[in-house]
Every structure is written in structure tokens, then in C-alpha cells.
Homo-oligomer: A and B are copies of this chain.
């Protein structure tokens, strides 16, 4: 089988770019840099990811809404930290036709400042709470760093959940639910992750605290897929989102947000793919099983019939199945569907028909089995589960083998991946480690208190906690 020009383990970045293009995920030649065209296949995969997100959000009683893209400058400017954080990366609309607007409008970089003036109208009483909403939209940020498909773009496809609560504890409960949602969602995508509580100087603009959701890419850089934010009443005060309690008092809401972007797709490509192309987890594969007839021209009858029987049986079982009847060689078909990452391939030739058998080939391991037609459906279903489990296990191994819990800065040498070191709690000491690693501070491990951090490797003072560092995208 032909392989990619660049190899995943040798030149990950070029391999990634090659895959994105060959597998027809997006076209980067659009005349505005960092704003890419979603090609049909890439958009299908993203739609399946969105479907999983909707399932999770709906199952947890979030209501889907859709807010306007444009935000008046006056709405944007109500929360001071937020403006400071986003002001330099928003796009401004100044004119409509030939007319200058009375007030500038900006394209949402995220929707707090679009939603919260409306939440202020929607919420009156404690009976209106909790308010749990989400939307799946595109958002816009003026990126000055080098762009990369799905990973660093200027028009970003993402979901954002926004919730309002009676108090801090109810908002904390929401954050626990968000973490569970992330867990269930990323499990289906075969992506193990880490939650990191970001340091104060690097939290979301306006947040009380921020938890990032990070995965480790095979380049040993981490990729932040999304984040969960506790806002406390930082936004509800300037946006006047308050409610009347049962006893008639007026109280500000506590708020949270939770969002993840198309970087999920970037992670899928990078973590699961190989030198033959994509490997798509069965849950989000546009085609889960491709059936390839092995025929000599003019002798199609019995083979095509056997293919169609299996196709119908699998489709009836709810699987996304495709019978590739194109008039090209089977080898060319294998190449195409391996590139596109279809998890399972079924081959049926004249001899298989005689034996009432089919050949089943796993995309992830290339393992090939002949099985009886009778057990095909059951085998396909169980093989898809096995593929998902294998993808997850491989990604978990990559992560596990590249998280280093160390005590001193000396041990850091040559370690590729995520470094955990004791931390005294000061920004200066964390920045010193960043310099040493030529990396970034990810944040404190969340829910991981198994070993106690001793002394800060920089200042030597007692450590308050562990701190994670890595090279990042």
C-alpha cells in the first residue's frame, strides 16, 4: 500500500498537513489565511462529533440556542478583564454598505457578552434557575501565530455551554457535571485527557478559575481541546443577572461556561492516524464499514449479490455502511478508504461466496480474518468495539508514558511530554521552569493528590501543589 510522503514518527507536523489535505478534510487555499474551507468529508466527521456533543448536552438538560454573531461594542465593554483579554484579537465591523455605523460591532470571540444582556432579561426568579444553555457556532479570533488546520485557525467551529445558578456551590456542581460530560464524550472519541487548573495569570479573561482539557499529541506537545470556567458572580454583576430568592431578596447569579472546539478533530487526526492516513473512531466515522467486491469484469453477479446482502444486514443493524461499486481495482479502493480512516473493511470475492464467508480487515492493525457470512453482523459489531478500545488504549499508553512526575529541575533533561514538578505558588518560579523547558505552564493536576509535592525546585520553599508544564500547540 502506498504511504504518506511524510512519516508520522519522523515529521509529525508535515505528516499532519499531508493527511488533512489527502483525506479531503479541509482546503487551506482560501484567500484569508487561517480561515479554511470545510470539505465534504471533514465536515461529515465534524458533524458526527457535533452530534455526540448534542447528545451529551441534551441528556444533561442543556437547551440549545443560537445567538447573533455580532456584538455591540457597548455590550462587550462591560466586564473589564474580559475586554483586556480579548480586545486585541477581535474583528471590528465599522460600516454597513457605504454607511458608517453609529457604534462598532465585533464578531464574537466567545459569546458571554452577547448572551449575558439577554440572560439579564430572562432570569427573574429562583424558579428560572438553573439556566443551562449551549450553542454550536463559529467564533472568530485574530490569530497572529502560525495557523494550522483545526488546531489554530481564525474562524473556529465550537460549542459553548453557558449556565446560571443560585449560588457558588450549584455552579460547582455544574462544573462536576461538565467534567463528566467531557469524560463521556472523549471516551467515545478514544481520547484520554488531563484536566489542569490553569494558573491565575493564565485563566480565561474574567473567570474565577479555569480548568483546561488537554490531550498529548504524538509530537509530545499538548493540545488544549477546551475548557471549563467558574465565573462566580464576576459577569453577573456588570451584566446585572440577578434573581429574587424565595424570601424576596435580590441576589446575583453564579455562572459557568464550558466549551470545546474543532481541535477535537485535530486531536483525532494526530493521535489515531498513521502513515496510511486517518483512523477514525467508529462512533464518528462517516462510514464505519466499507464493503469491497473482488470481481473480474463480467462475473459480478453472485459477488455483488453477496455484498448487497451484507450491506443491507449491516445498515439494518444501524451501522453506516458503504458498498464501493466503482469500476477501479480493489487495491485502489483499499487505498482510498484507508486514507479516509474507515474502521473496518469487508472483502468479498468468488471464493468467499463459495465458502459463504467474508474477509474482514481492521484499519488500525491491518489484521485480516475470514469469517462466515452468518456471523458477519455480530463480528462487525464486536470488531468495531475492539477497534475503539484499541485506539483508546494506544492513546492512553502514549499519555501514561509521557507524564513525568519529578522532584527537581535536573531530572527534566531530555524528557518529552508533560512534566509535573512541585510548585510554591508564585508566578516567578513557574515562569523559570517554563524557560528551562522552553514550554508552558498547563496548570495544577485536578483530582490527583496521590503523592505530596515537596519543595519548589526553583526557590526551595515548601511546595503548595504540583504544577504541570509542557510544550503546547
Question: Which residues of A pack against B, CB within 8 Å?
Answer: 27, 29-32, 35-40, 43-44, 47, 63-70, 72, 74-75, 87-99, 105, 107, 114, 117-118, 121-122, 133, 138, 140, 142, 155, 157
Query: In the assembly, what is the distance between CA of A466 and CA of B47, in Å?
Result: 46
A92 with B95: CB separation less than 8 A: yes
New A-B pairs, 10, CB < 8 Å, besides A31-B72, A38-B67, A43-B65: A30-B114, A31-B75, A31-B117, A36-B68, A37-B66, A43-B66, A69-B155, A88-B98, A90-B97, A99-B142
| Docked complex Cα distance between A67 and B95 (Å) | 23
Q: Is the CB of A94 within 8 A of B97?
A: no
Neighbouring B residues of A118 by C-beta, 8 Å: 27, 29-30, 37
Chain B residues with Cβ below 8 Å from A107 are 93
A38 to chain B: closest residue by CB: B66
- A36 CA to B114 CA, complexed, in Å: 11
Find the residue from A36, A68, A70, A155 having the highest chain B CB count within 10 A: A68
User: By the criterion CB–CB under 8 Å, are A68 and B142 in contact?
Assistant: no
- Of A40, A75, A90, most buried by chain B (CB within 10 Å of CB) is A40
The answer to whether B121 and A32 touch across the interface, beta carbons within 8 angstroms, is no
Whole-angstrom CA separation of A30 from B142 in the bound complex: 25
In the bound complex, residues from chain B placing their C-beta under 8 Å from that of A70 are: 32, 35, 91, 155
Q: Give me 25 A-to-B residue pairs in the complex whose CB atoms sit less than 8 angstroms apart, sorted by A's number.
A: A29-B118, A29-B121, A30-B67, A30-B118, A31-B72, A31-B75, A31-B117, A32-B70, A32-B72, A37-B66, A37-B118, A38-B65, A40-B133, A47-B64, A68-B155, A70-B155, A88-B97, A90-B97, A91-B95, A91-B105, A92-B94, A92-B96, A93-B93, A94-B94, A99-B142
Contact A93 to B96, CB < 8 A, known contacts A65-B40, A118-B29, A155-B69: no
- Smallest CB gap from A87: residue in B: B97
A149 and B357 alpha carbons, distance in the complex (Å)? 59
CB-based contact B97/A142 at 8 Å: yes
Assembled-state Cα–Cα distance A36/B37 (Å): 27
Complex CA–CA separation, A67 to B36 (angstroms): 7
Q: Which residues of B contact A63 (CB under 8 A)?
A: 40
Q: How far is the CB of A113 from chain B (nearest CB, A)?
A: 10
| Contact between A89 and B97, CB atoms less than 8 A apart | yes
Q: How far is the CA of A27 from the CA of B121 in the complex (A)?
A: 10
How far apart sit A105 and B157, CA to CA, in the bound complex (Å)? 19
Residues of B within 8 A of A88 (CB): 97-98
- Say how far A206's CB is from chain B's closest CB, in angstroms: 18
Bound CA span A65–B38, Å = 6
Q: Give A89 to B97 CA distance when docked, in angstroms.
A: 5
Q: How far is the CA of A31 from the CA of B44 in the complex (A)?
A: 35
